[in-house]
Structures are given as structure tokens and as C-alpha cells.
Structure 1
Amino acid sequence: MKSLVVVTILFLIAGSEAVASLFLSPVGHREAFLGNTGAGLVQSPGAVLFNPAGMAYFKDRPAVSLSGSAVSYQEFSGQALTRETGQLKSETLLGSAIFPVEAGLRMGVFYSYPGNIQDYLRSSSIENGAEVTDTSELQRQAAVGGIAYAGMIDADQSWGVGINIAYRELNGLVLSQSVSSGASTVRLQKNVEQQTSLVLTPGYMWRVSENYSFGLNVQWKALNVYSEGDQYINEFSSGDARPSEDFSRYTPASESMLGFTLGQVWNVDGHRLLLDLSWAPHSGYREMAVGRIRRCQKIFPLAGRLRCCRILIF
């Protein structure tokens, strides 16, 4: 039986307001089961997302693929299943069709949910003598559809480019209760942000030999098409006759997205080694306005630029 080893190394550098990640969930035909490693894979239907240049190696017949993944996590407390501390659900989908256009040229069309995450978090702390309890629910969704082209440069090298329309939505709900000296304050904040953008994904692939290949892929948000956010706040303190309410509409900051991935594949003695090195100086997943309230670091724990190394042996 072939062995499988997965090693993930993350280096976070604080100082950026973006959550640094190219894909927040496992997605892809083979890539989802390889820890989203696949920038150096040839002839994978997931190449439309991870490196369009990999499509050029498909034979002269159509290839159709539909794949999905689901991850669920919930913490236990004692003998009972509870939601006291944390919960995470993630579901993804990728459908793609790759077919020859003419000799040496391939075209792919695809639609994907590369990020569909639901988080639940509850925390308690003491701040300035007051007992504070925060309960938050956050849902991050992303849908990407587009078209990709790939062609051979020579017998071993290929190029590719994807033209994608990406839609992202963030729904955040935070309930905060503060109790101090018999007085209490309850604050409810609801945020919804929607963004639609044009993303370009050029790529390059070189199959150096039968035992080694590498690819380079770039993800770049070239244009922000649509961006809107809505915020609702309801706050009530003991002694108040009625709660205060505030509704506002705003334009979320258009964060740039730029990421690079270098993928390498080795075939050694019947085993395959995959190594992906990713660097994302800017990511499209921005902290919502809801993250700017107190406790934002617990709601959005991954702040900073990301360098990621993914190694798999199977």
C-alpha cells in the first residue's frame, strides 16, 4: 500500500489586514485530496483553478469532471456535543470541462465553490472589571466561474491563462454581552458584504522528464466589478427605555489579491512527491467591518501575509 505523508508549514508575518489564503477549503479533482497541492500536476481537471497550463497535456478528446468535498468540525465538552467553544463547516464543489479547440490548443470552462465556510465561536473574558461574553457566527462564501486556454510551447513546455469572474460574500453576526456591577449591555451587530471581481490566472508548466515536472501559477484580481456592504447595530443597556438602532450602507475596501504558487512533482521508486510553495502578499479575503469591533482577532485569527509550503508523498 502506498504511503501518504502530508506536511504543511505556515509562516505568518503580522501587519496586513487581509486573511492570507488563495483557497480557504479543499477544492479540486485530485488537488482537494492532496492538501490543495497541484500547481505542478499535468492532465488534472483541477488545472483550471490551480494552473491552467496543465490543461495543455490532455489528449485530443474532451474531459469532464465533477468533484466536491465536505469538512465538519465541532468541539466536545464532557460527554455531550456542544457549541460552547467552536464549530466549523466547509463544503466545496468544482465542475469542469476541457476539450481541444485545434491542434496544440485546449479550452476549459468551469464553475466552482472554492470557499464555503461556516464558523461559530464563543468566548468569555474580563475587560476593565466587566465580564464579557462574545458569540459570533461567520459565513464566507465564494463562487468562481470562467474560461481557460492552454497550449504547448514545445513538446515539454506549456502556457495557460484563466479569465474568471469571482463572487465573494461574507455574513457576520456578533452578539456581545457585558456585565459589570449589576449593569449589563447587550450589543448585536450584523454585517453583509458582497464583492464581484475579475481574476486572471496565467500559468506555465515544464515537464522536464518522466520523473520531474514543475509549474508556476499567478492569481491576480485585475478589476473590482461590484462591492457593497450593509451593517446593522442594535445596542441595549440596563436602564435604557428602548434599544438604540443604527443601519448603514458602505463600500467595502477593495483589497487587491495577488498570489504566486510554484509547484513541483517528482516520481521516485513508485512514489510521487509533490511540493507547492505559495506566497500571497495580498489576499482578496479581507477582514469585514464586523472584525473591527472588540474581539476581532478571535473572529479573524489569521491576519498577515502568508508563505506556505505543502509537501505530499504518496
Structure 2
Amino acid sequence: MSESLLETSTESAISAAIASTPTSTTKPTTSTSSTSPTIEPTITPFVQPPSCANLFTTITTSGLIYGNITAATLPLVLSNTADPLFSACQQPGWDRGGAGKHRRSFWFSPAVCPSAWTAYDVLADSKSKTSSAYCCSPGYTHGWPPIQSMSRVPGYNSRDFACYRVLADSEDNKTLAAQAEEEGPGDVVMVVDSTTTITTVTSTLNSIQMFTAGVQMHQPYQIAWQSSDVPFMSPRPPPRVCSGDAIPSWAPGDENSGFYYCNEPQNDLKGLEGVMWFVMVGLPLIAIAAMGCCVWCCCASRRHRRLDKEEARVRREDREVVRAI
């Protein structure tokens, strides 16, 4: 795609994706340390100013198509972190990260997603009573973009997910872009610029189609909260998240999002728990009790027989004494 065409489509797409009005952000009081970073709390939605809509930059990278030695140019539209306004457009504390495994930017706790953003992969941990989610701005999806390697993207590594969307410049390319999203990361579909015609390249494994488009990305906000934080959060997260089962996406006020399914076997196991205890504990106890009863009955029977024999012997001796007299 030519630079002017990509910039035109990018500006129009970005403007439609991020539209909001300023508002205040309420934060709970937290303690900070001068020796280690802290995760910033935000319990009401942060709203980006309208001036933040165009803080993107276009770069190109290259890679090899899977199964083929053909090189492809990949245009990416990324957040322009070098822009002086970038920090002011982010939620306060975006660059403070956190301690331990959370030592990275865009971490907030306790927190909710920015206004109009969507929460993805909402996950609860019953042991720590902590829930977490990833937040993406409107029009973006959380996951691996349809590119060959995230490690080729500045600011990302091969394990990182991103908030992304595919920008296509024709209806045919939009169809192919949707196909690329379904294929997922590291697969055979590759995004190339408009200088490459739509064609089919045969690799050693299968055939692929290349399309003219671009990928727009930004870093997701990563949020976490404790169950005790929920009464103070606005909007409140989904009321119940099954431990170990992630909600794919949740947008406050959207009735079509936030659906989740607990694993039914968990409920079945609860019903079978009593049966398992009976089999593992009850039956052995019953068997031991039965054996004890048998032993007691046997001993009592033998004792009664001994007493009967002793009583019969005494009676015989008494009769013999009487006869002798």
C-alpha cells in the first residue's frame, strides 16, 4: 500500500475508533515505595482526550512466508511512543509497571478498562481471589495479529499479544484479511503492501494468498482486581467468573458480551463428592465394623460354650457326690 493511501485509511479508521470526552478519574489511596515500582490503581474509567486519536506511526518490516523463501514487506501502524503527547494520552501510571512478574508498562490494579474499551480474557483465580483482564480500544481485537512473528515488531516479543485490527483497501482484501485473522499467528497467511499483487504462492506444505492491507496495533492495558475491590469499581466486572474459565470478551452495557460457561463436570463432581467419600471411607469402616461384629460374636459364642461345659461338669460332680453318700 502506498504511504499516502495507508495514512488516509489509517487516519479515518483511527478517528472512528477513538472518540471520547474528558472526565475525571477517581483513585483509591495506595502506598508507594521509593525503591520498587507499584501498579497504579484506577477504579473508575479513564477517558482519553480527543487529541490522542492520531498518535500512530507507520513502519515496515520484512519476513519470510512460511514454507517459502519469498520475502514480504509488512506495513504496521503502531502507537507512536516517541510523540511528546503519548504519555499524556495514557492512563496515569502507565509506565510504572509493577513488582515481580508484573514489572512492565500498562499494568493497573485494582482497575477497570478505560471508557468504551472492551475487556478480553477475563480470568478469575479462586485461590488468590484475584481476577485479571486485557483492555483494547474500540474496534480492536486482543490476540496475535495475522503476522509471521511478533518479535519483528518494535516493543513486542514472540510471546506478546496485542490489540490489533486489519486495515484493508478493497472488499476482496477485506475478505482475505478476515481469512488471515482466522488463521492466527505464525500461519501461512501474510500481510503485504500494495506494491505486491494478489497472487497465489505455492509452498512445500500448501498454497496461500497474499493480500494488500496493513495491521494497526497498540499495547493492551492489563488490569487486575481482588474480589474485595468489586464494590468500589465502576462499572463493576461480571458478577461471577468461573475459576479457570476465561470470559472471551466483556463490554460494559453490552448484553451480547460477557457470556461464560462453567465446566459442568465441576457441578457433577460436587454431587459425587459424597459418593466418593462413602466409597473411600464409609465402605472400609462398614467392612471393619462387620468384621469386628463377627469376631465379637465368635468370641461370645465360644465363651458361652465354655460356660455351658463348665456348668455341666459341675452338675456331674454334684450327682456323683450324692450317689456316693
TM-score range for the pair, normalised by the shorter chain length: under 0.3
**More helix per residue: 1 or 2?**
2
Q: Normalising to structure 2: TM-score of the pair?
A: 0.22
Q: Normalising to structure 1: TM-score of the pair?
A: 0.22
**More strand per residue: 1 or 2?**
1
More contact order relative to length (CA 8 Å, sep ≥ 6): 1
